[in-house]
Amino acid sequence: MKQLILACLNLAVLGSAQGIAGAAPVPAAAAPPIAAPKDIAFPGGIRLNVDASDIERRIVRVHESITGLAGDAVLLYPRWLPGEHGPNGPIERLAGLTITAGGAGVPWTRDTVDMYAFHLHLPGGTRALEIDFEYLSPTSPSAGPVEFSREILLLEWPSLVLYPAGYFTRQIPAEVELTLPADWQFASALDKESSAANRTTFKQTTLETLVDSPLFAGRYTSRIDLDPGAAVPVHMNLFADRPDLLAVKPEQVAIHRALVQQAYKLFASHHYAHYDFLYSLSDQVRMIGLEHHQSSEDGTLPTVFTEWDKQPWARDLLSHEYTHSWNGKFRRPADLWTPNYNVPMRDTLLWVYEGQTQYWGEVLAARSGLWTRQQALDVWAETAAYFQTLPGSRWRALEDTTNDEIIERDHHLLWRTWQRAFDYYPEGALIWLDADTLIRERSQGKRSLDDFARAFFGIGDGSMTPVTYTFEDVVKALNAVEPNDWSAFLRERLDAVDKPAPLGGITRGGYKLVFNDTQNDYSKAADGARKRTSLLYSVGLVINEKNATIMDVLWEGPAYKAKLTEGMEILAVDGAAYSAEVLKVAIQTAKDSGAPIELIVKSQDRFRVATLDYHGGLRFPHLERDPSVPARLDDLLTPK
């Protein structure tokens, strides 16, 4: 702190001296240029040698050879990662970067504006660059999402590669040799060339396909065929903390097989030569859901199969990520597709990419049996209630939330109900439910959003080359299914602020959003698994039960008015020690008594009494059948 102040003083002295002596400051010269990517063949290639066997220290050692570079060159570390929609490449974990050519050191200079770019000057006659660095994988959750445990490794190639600026990634040949811990098994959509002991060489591919083909490895694994006998195989590759967690029952296998068949009935196509779910069941490595053309990274709870009934909320992960092979990977928004991983992405159409995937992920969960119909209805009750209540939609349009992956990066968004956060997923899903039921109503049940899915995502069967689209393309495809002013329909829902939530799909689907004092089973299970108590629609609070700390406060709700905020600990309710049950009883008591609820809360090391003047009782959302309208929700959730 002291040093900082001194430095500031020195600058001030210098600044004033210059001010006296010369003209006003002008901008410094720009940093040296970085070649924009071109769609021309890269004259060399990348060969990666990755040693990922250090499961204790979680240090991944990379040796990389790059041929085909000369003179002034720029190497890039991937920053804008497909599926992440933001500039999240973990550059802070790259260390020990050393580059040589022909045995002599090649100095590198990091770009002073773009921290992901390294400038080099190569001596004449350079044939190959030899690059060494380490990727320092997080050793605990406090250091970042854990990718490595003593049983499981989640390996993403973009963390482990530097690549030449100036070329489309599909034009850069890449091959990999990988060393894993002894006796571990792996799965990946990459094609294997050869293997010896714990070392595997993969067939040469392009950098684009390599980055799109992560690899999971582990000590306890199993591989389940989800489409036996099919010419285009689909497998579920499980990686677990313990062998007993791999006990998948035949009826659970049948449900996942049904998912594949229901997706084929919906999209009438596939855009992969083979597909691998990379599915980790762990509380040691991170939870993840990340889509790829021929695989997905699916990381969830260790007991998803062994305690199947307890955690329905974890089960639509696979239906969501699988849908992305069609929506997101094959069909991709034109402004989101980028020629390499350092050209910024623009996320304006994520309400299609993620919103419609959220929708199909939920619908396919019900059609395949991952969820019961009631569970799907419970999820939509929660989503509908949230957006009906959401104060943040008074100032922020849905489309603006598509920027959240770039705005948030790794920062936590405070006051979620006011700020809004990633609403293009659930509110996007509500808009597509709205559109689906409207098509069904207008066509008297003859057509539906399934027809849009087949027409929009089902083109080019078997092709893996992305087909990009614009807003106008979406409107055109909807019009081809059911003529309507879809542009106005969508723009109104995407751009308007301070408008009613898009609940047309619920009412047109034959249901009403109602509230009562009983939490629905799905939401109860989600709260139980996440160890939280959700009281957003009554006192306006969500509480973390691990430490009795407030996780979320509804903007301008009763708790907000009592000046409660995220991070406060609740110590007591009406003079009794806090528990979720004590608070729920107090809410019901205050409904009849008219007396306020008194909380003792702690914020850092300060204590105070907060008074909740709320008398509406417990309120939890449900969908209730409206017999005056056809049960379109039931229809669209029925297996095809």
What is the contact surface with Zn ion in residues (CB under 5 A)?
A: 354, 357
Of 364 and 548, CB closest to Zn ion: 364
Please tell me whether residue 166 adopts helix, strand or coil conformation. Answer: coil
- Least Å distance between CB 241 and Zn ion? 25
Bridge partners for 553 per DSSP: 541
In the complex, minimum distance from the CB of residue 354 to Zn ion, in angstroms, rounded to a whole number: 5
Q: Alpha helix locations (H) across 225-272?
A: 250-267
How many Cβ atoms from other residues are within 10 Å of residue 568's Cβ? 23
Burial class (CB in 10 A: 0-12, 13-18, 19+), 7: exposed
Q: How far is the CB of 638 from Zn ion (least distance, A)?
A: 24
- Residue 104, beta-bridge partner list: 101
Q: Which is nearer to Zn ion, 399 or 527 (CB)?
A: 399
Q: Which amino acid is at 341?
A: Y
Q: Which residue, 329 or 632, has its beta carbon nearer to Zn ion?
A: 329
Of 53 and 357, which has the nearer Cβ to Zn ion?
357
Residue 594: exposure state from Cβ atoms within 10 A (0-12, 13-18, ≥19): exposed
Measured distance CA(276)–CA(232) in Å, rounded: 11
The CA distance from 68 to 418, in Å, is 52
Asked whether the beta carbons of 30 and 131 are under 8 A apart, the reply is no
Rounded to a whole number of angstroms, the minimum distance from the CB of residue 277 to Zn ion is 14
Residue 620 Cβ vs Zn ion, minimum distance, rounded to whole Å: 27
| Burial status of residue 388 (CB atoms within 10 A of its CB: 0-12, 13-18, 19 or more) | middle
Minimum separation from the CB atom of position 402 to Zn ion (A): 13
**Among residues 212 and 354, whose Cβ is nearest to Zn ion?**
354
Judged by CB, which is closer to Zn ion: 129, or 290? 290
Q: Please say whether the beta carbons of 308 and 253 come within 8 A.
A: no
Least spacing, CB of residue 432 vs Zn ion, in Å: 14
Token readout for 420 is 């809004």
Task: Tell me whether residue 240 or residue 430 sits nearer to Zn ion (CB atom).
Answer: 430
Q: Which is nearer to Zn ion, 77 or 425 (CB)?
A: 425
Distance of CA 271 to the CA centre of its chain: 21
The residue type at 327: N
Are 508 and 629 spatial neighbours (Cβ–Cβ below 8 Å)?
yes
Residue 460 buriedness (CB in 10 A; 0-12 / 13-18 / 19+): middle
Contact 522, 452 (CB under 8 A): no
CB of 228 to Zn ion, least distance (A): 28
Least distance in Å: CB of 291 to Zn ion? 6
Residues 6 or more apart whose CB falls under 8 angstroms from that of 565 comprise 550, 553, 603
Instruction: Tell me how far, at minimum, the Cβ of 328 lies from Zn ion, in Å.
Output: 7
If the CB atoms of residues 380 and 511 are measured against Zn ion, the closer one turns out to be 380
Please say which residue, 209 or 357, places its beta carbon nearer to Zn ion. Answer: 357
CB atoms closer than 10 angstroms to residue 427: 24
**HEC string of 265-286?**
HHHCCCCCCCEEEEEEECCCCC
CB 251, CB 370: distance < 8 Å: no
Nearer to Zn ion, 118 or 360 (CB): 360
Instruction: Characterise 412 by phi-psi region: left (phi > 0), alpha (psi -120 to 50), beta (else).
Output: beta
To Zn ion, the closest distance from the beta carbon of 361 in angstroms equals 8
